[in-house]
Structure 1
Amino acid sequence: MTDTQQYLPAELAALAEGRALRLRIVRHAETEFNVGHVMQGWSDSPITELGHRQIAAVARRLSSERFDVVQSSDLPRTRTTAEGIVAALEAAPTIEYTELLREWNFGSHEERPASEVWQAVIVEHGYEVDRELTALRTIGEQVGWRGLFDTIAQLDTSGQAEHALATVVRADAALERVIRAAAAAPGEDRAEVLIVSHGGFITSMLRQLVPELAPDVILPNCSVTTVSLPAGSTAWQLDAVGEVAEPE
């Protein structure tokens, strides 16, 4: 795979070398930036009180499961979420942290109110800000979800924001890393994988496995999305999307 080439779902499946896999993909717990509708990306903010209860809830839900491989984004909000889940497991595997599983990088837009960023996108496409909801829908229909995020990158003054293609290629690299680790896990039965990442980046990974996934799907904090690959198959199955364990 080159820096711009994307994997097809069947090519990602082939990396499992015929082994059955199940991926449990968890979005991090709620943060203060989530509550404040602030662009977060590669920056971070503290997990809220509700967020800590969300971690406890998803940990209880997954506590009876076995995981052969656990990989997480290395940002604090995902590390805390992953560590909370693993602490509840009877057999606690080692967590592997990687930058590949980080959220989209929004460059100079990070830590700005999300409404300001989307208003800039609307203006860039020639629409009036006071009609922003209609404008965003229209722009989305014209340029697609990739075009929306490419506009954010084009408006970034730091030059660090990721374009959609770069994020998709990174999603492929993250999936390759996970799938190869799962295929190499001891035993021959289905390999069980836990991935902890971020809402936007999880949807990028999911679309590489299951392209028919709606581009505007929103995953709740600490929700669990399940994707499986039967033994010997080249077709991924989307078993559940954004399931939430209610916090106490």
Structure 2
Amino acid sequence: MKTLNLTVVRHGKTYFNRYNKLQGWGNSPLTDEGIADAHQAGERLADVPFKAAYSSDTTRAMDTANTILAANQTATDISLQTAWNFREEFYGSYEGSNMDVAWTNAGATVGLSTYAAIVDAYGVDKTKDLLKAADPWHDAEDATEYWQRVEAGFKLILDNPALQDGDDVLLISHGNTLISLADRYGQGKIQVHERPANGSIAKMQLSAEGISISMYNNQII
């Protein structure tokens, strides 16, 4: 059984991040600060000998990935592989909405009005379920739909025949996805009601048995 070393980076800051808008499958460009986030991550990872690189198929993730790969001094002949499996949580009709309004609506049935309060009381997966229930179209992903998609993405990485035990793999991810991974695999050691910083680095070990996390939001766990 092989174990892969994942370096998981949150994409650089976008305009929707600046405007406090939910940004799942929707997309907005990197700001100047977001471009700088990607360059800084690239400098920190310049010596990591990546054997493969993955991201979601959103431009904010792809632009961040390509900036990091361009700065890498040891990874050669790597083509970025994109997959919809690595997209952020889908927020349905709340895509592009003010985050505070969306989470107030999601928490109305349980008497809570902020994302942090809902997550602290019910956990990350239940928070997804509450948003789907609040979505008038019920298009937002619930926890089951979300994990089926994301876990298929990790299987895609593991099944890559070019990757061997111990190889380093770059994955450009999203804020809520990192929170979700921390909640599920962080063994209760990671605070999950705030998003990690744009351009922040996490280190994870991926195998058929699951994921272990050794660094999150630039901090060793």
Give the TM interval when normalised to the shorter protein.
Answer: 0.7 to 0.9
Q: What code does the residue aligned with 1:118 have?
A: W
CA distance in 2, matches of 1:174, 1:143: 26
1:105 aligned onto 2:81: no
Deviation of 1:149 (Å): 1.9
Give the CA deviation at 1:204: 2.5
Q: Does 1:76 align with 2:47?
A: no
Matches within 5 A, 1:201-240: 201-214=177-190, 215-216=192-193, 218-228=195-205, 236-240=211-215
Question: CA separation in 2, counterparts of 1:57 and 1:142?
Answer: 35
Cα distance, 1:176 vs structure 2: 1.1
- CA distance in 1 between counterparts of 2:88 and 2:120 reads 24
Q: Distance in 2 between matches of 1:45 and 1:36?
A: 11
Partner of 1:9: none
Larger gyration radius, structure 1 or structure 2: 1
Alignment of 1:22-37 (within 5 A): 22-37=5-20
1:243 is matched with: 218
Higher relative contact order, structure no. (Cα contacts within 8 Å, ≥ 6 residues apart): 1
Report the TM-score, using the length of structure 2 for normalisation.
0.86
Equivalent residue for 1:155, pick from 109, 131, 134: 134
Secondary structure of 1:228's aligned partner = strand
- 1:194 is aligned to 170
The RMSD of aligned alpha carbons is: 2.5
Structure 1: segments with no counterpart, 5+ residues: 1-16
Pick aligned residue for 2:47 from 60, 64, 73: 64
Structure 1 pair 212–140 and aligned structure 2 pair: CA distance change class (3 A): closer
- 1-structure distance, mates of 2:210, 2:119: 29
Q: Decide which of 107, 110, 118 is 2:103's aligned counterpart.
A: 118
Counterpart residue number, 1:88: 71
For residues 90-120 of structure 1, the C-alpha deviation after alignment (integer angstroms, 9 at most, x for no partner) is: 3241110000000000010011111111221
CA distance in 2, matches of 1:125, 1:162: 19
Amino acid at match of 2:94: H
Judge conservation of contact 1:73–1:102 (CA < 8 Å) in 2.
yes
In structure 2, C-alpha distance between the alignment counterparts of 1:235 and 1:114, rounded to whole Å? 31
Aligned-pair identity in percent equals 25
Count of residue pairs brought into register by the alignment: 216
How much has 1:31 moved relative to structure 2? 0.5
